[in-house]
Structure 1
Amino acid sequence: MLKAVGRDSLARNSALIMASTVGTSGLGYLYWMVAARELPRPAIGTATALISAATVVSMVANLGLGHMFIQRLPETGTAAWSRIVSAGLLLGCSATAFASIAAALVLPRLAGNFAFLDGFTATAALVATAVALTASMLLDYVFVAHRASQGMLWRNLALAAGKVLALAGLTAAGLASASAVVLAWTVPSLVVSAYTLRWSLPRLRPGYRPAVAGLGTELRHVRGSLTGHHLINLAQAGPSALLPVLVTARLGAAENAHFYVAWMTASVLFMVSPAVASALYAERTNAAGATLPRAAAVTLVVIGVPAAVLFVAGGWILGLFSPAYAAAGGLLLKILVLAAIPDAITNLAVAHWRSLGELRRCLWLNVLMATACLTLTWLWLPSFGIEAAGLAWLTGQTLGALLIAVNAGRRRLVRFVFCGFARVFGYAARERVAPRPRRPRGGPRPAAQGRPAPRSRRPSPHSRPRSRSWRVP
């Protein structure tokens, strides 16, 4: 089994990406358990709201550079590789910093529950957290682009372990506030990203050097990525990043703490299909033979058992944080587990269309699902509580999966009808053969194009048989 996975590039990189996700999520559980037991729920709610806002800012401002890395890095030389990576990181982190400052100025005026962002300290925390998320995400895509996801695995495991150790140290030192959660979340990410730039990237691509020259030449590619892949990414990842923000704005930070823990638990399932989709896209970019059915089989094998465990024992798992989290988020977790099936269908379909260059179809599907999810969440939250976000997510993903099924059925029907007509008219054309044109009498025989003219029947003198009975005419 392990040898087969090792030989299959798609399965190997999907497994490494998912191992990174599972390991990070497992350490994330430990991180939030420490936070839930050592800090009051309002402090956790405030910290998770700030982290959610930073996630949204990073998602909006990363400019779609990750998929541009997958497209361009595999076939470039060392100098161009260094320029692409350096320019992408610089542009992505700069855009994230500016967007974070704008968000810190706007959010407190739009929603009173985000008043904690008003002030220099909170603004600096939001900027640092968002920039750390952008840098970490872009560095992950560098490893995925080269089908070297083991680097991504070790990097994320070190980052998650650093978060747990930092939070344990800060709480042991007596810092029992939202600042402890934010510091423990952000500082290890910045440290691991700096280590990756200094030591990991030169091992991944020998000869790599940070390069600032040529930044202007990369703006054209960034503009193309912004209008193509980035819009797809925003519509695809937007709802998952905005749901905690909407819960905070409508219900408050305390309810967001209950929602965030259930959402984080279910994210183990939601990260499987994006991992396989990224590996599928990278395989096809590297001209490897990866098929959609094989990617679907990998997703089904990995997602089946965890989904069953979370659906049956999800309440007990939430109870590890505290009984209040299990009581408030048990039903929400079951709804999110059910949504993992259509979510996998839509993610793989988008990766397949993206590899074929059908970006407009990807964009329209993701925009439709995001609009349905966010609109229903905003309308249902006051009436149904945090379960409304799960129901809206399930509705949006199911709508997308149904549209994919209808599109696939329509294409099969069109192909079937076209092949039927082609067979009928093909056989008719074969039975009714056009007559050959008649050659006028006495005229020369036309020579076939590309062939020499026919030779006369009389042989040349040097080819006549040498015999005694031969006479010269």
Structure 2
Amino acid sequence: MASTVGTAGLGYLYWLLAARQLAQPSIGTATALISISTVVSMVSNLGLGHMFIQRLPGTGPREWSRIVSAGLLLGCGATAVVSFAACAVLPALGGNFAFLRSTSGVVALVTASVALTATTLLDNVFVAHRASHGMFTRNLALAGGKLALLALLTWAGYGGAGVVLIAWTVPSLAVTAYTLASMLGRLQPGARLGGAGLGGELPHVRGAMSGHHLINLAQAGPTALLPVLVTARLGPEANGHFYVAWMTASVLFMVSPAVASALYAERTNSAAAGLPRASAVVLTVTGLPALLLFFAGESILGLFSAGYAAQGALLLKILVLAALPDAITNLAVAHWRSLREFRRCLRLNLLMATVCLTLTWLWLPGTGIEAAGLAWLLGQGTGAVVVALHFLTRRRKKACAG
């Protein structure tokens, strides 16, 4: 929880500084590239993070080393391949992705995507060991490093989208290197990362792809794809306005997935973690920020500039309203995942993703960036209704049986 909130707060300051120091076109291009790297990483991490949570508890140093080494190598390697493929395909689909035709654009996308995959997978290693304090330290150093490097580069007079991307990526690589060199050894004494036994892990990776990864893609797909769709339909500059509002609201959307991951990890470790307690935690942490963003969101966006406030105020209100159904569906998926009801998780996530992405694509040209928020709200709302009907039906069946 502290990792989520701290990262979101420093991320807010990062984009606030970028918006005040750099021109809007530069912000638009940078946010578009970061959005694409998020999609690439999400598609290509192969569900290995949840495989770590499922398999690492209770393993010895040798098996632990094999699992983590194979996961990092396969996940980062797949991310690099998908990054190059995205650079080849996206510019041909629309002129709004022309920035990927340059060598610098390709290097930036590949580096940012691989760094994001490594960060995500390592976070799940710490979650698997119920050592979220290590994840907190890593993410706080990562977010603080991004902010400090951006401040240094802009103070030195550098500008353009490249400054945002360098400040975004270099700290990720540095923190990842430090984690691999120092932190993992303390997490699992005697572990040594290497390439031995990679082939033996492939069956487990295929299992993760057919189970956890499909669920993750359907669940996280809309959050990663919305900025890309805005770029494709409205252009990088409009995506800059969308991204700032989306990033501001993300403090609400980051809490329930963090609690859901902890719930799943606790149940994997045979702990008696329940949905009511997890729900209470989410409501307690997000309640006050949600009220603040809903009633003072325009003023908060105004800290970036008057243009961001004018373009994103309504969108921010819509996104705040979507936080409650989003929390309901995230916790429900974690609950069903812990019961190994993977098909139920996948069906729910596919339903929400289909509603959200279809409506976004259809509504964006005529409605503007608010269309993405409305589609997100309707998608999550549809999922929350399905969850409520499921639990009510199950409770009624138990009552009848009793």
Report TM bin, short chain. Answer: over 0.9
C-alpha deviations, 1:385-442, integer Å up to 9, x for none?
10000000000000000011111111122222223xxxxxxxxxxxxxxxxxxxxxxx
Partner of 2:291: 308
Asked if residue 48 in structure 1 is aligned to residue 55 in structure 2, the reply is no
Report the alpha carbon displacement of residue 70 of structure 1 after superposing the two structures with TM: 0.3
Q: Gapped runs of 5+ residues in structure 1?
A: 1-17, 420-473
Match of 1:27 in 2: 10
What's the offset of the Cα at 1:150? 0.4
- Stretch moving more, 171-180 or 122-131: 171-180
For residue 38 of structure 1, report the CA deviation from its aligned partner: 1.1
Residue in structure 2 matched with residue 133 of structure 1 by the alignment: 116
Q: Greater CA radius of gyration, 1 or 2?
A: 1
Q: CA offset at residue 279 of structure 1?
A: 0.3
The one-letter amino acid paired with 2:13 is L
1:365 equivalent in structure 2: 348
CA distance in 1, matches of 2:62, 2:68: 10
Aligned positions of 1:353-392 closer than 5 A? 353-392=336-375
Please report how far the alpha carbon of residue 169 of structure 1 lies from its aligned counterpart in structure 2 after TM superposition. Answer: 1.6
Alignment of 1:154-165 (within 5 A): 154-165=137-148
AA aligned to 1:67 is H
Identity of aligned residues (%): 71
Structure 2 partner of 1:85: 68
Structure having the larger proportion of residues in helix: 2
Q: Cα offset for 1:172?
A: 2.1
2:156 is the alignment partner of 1:176 = no
**Post-superposition shift, 1:173?**
2.3
Structure 2 counterpart of 1:203:
186
Q: Which residue of 2 aligns with 1:230?
A: 213
Q: Which aligned pairs between 1:389-400 and structure 2 lie closer than 5 A?
A: 389-400=372-383
CA RMSD of aligned residues (A): 0.7
Describe the superposition over 1:238-283 as per-residue Cα deviations: whole angstroms up to 9, x where unpaired.
0000000000111111111110000000000001100110000000
- Alpha-carbon distance in structure 1 between the residues aligned to 2:83 and 2:278: 36
Cα deviation digits, residues 208-251 of structure 1 (max 9, x gap): 21121100010010000000000000000000000000001111
Superposed, which structure 2 residues align to 1:225-304 within 5 Å?
225-304=208-287
Query: What is the TM-score with the length of structure 2 in the denominator?
Result: 0.99
- Does residue 336 of structure 1 match 2:319? yes
Which fold has the larger relative contact order, with Cα–Cα distance below 8 Å and residues 6 or more apart in sequence? 2
Residue 49 of structure 2, aligned match among 47, 66, 82: 66
**Distance of 1:192 and 1:226 partners within structure 2:** 27
Name the aligned partner's letter for residue 141 of structure 2: A
Shift of 1:366: 0.1
SS in 2 for 1:303: helix
Deviation for aligned residue 1:285 = 0.2
Offset, 1:170: 1.5
C-alpha distance after superposition, 1:167-209 (max 9, x if no partner): 1121222221100000110011000000000001111111121
Distance 1:172 1:68 in 2: 43
Letter in 2 for 1:219: L
2:50 paired with 1:105: no
SS in 1 for 2:159: coil
- After TM superposition, the score normalised by the length of structure 1 is 0.84
Q: Partner residue of 2:396? A: 413
In structure 2, the residue corresponding to 1:156 is in which secondary structure?
Answer: helix
How far is 1:34 from its partner?
A: 1.3
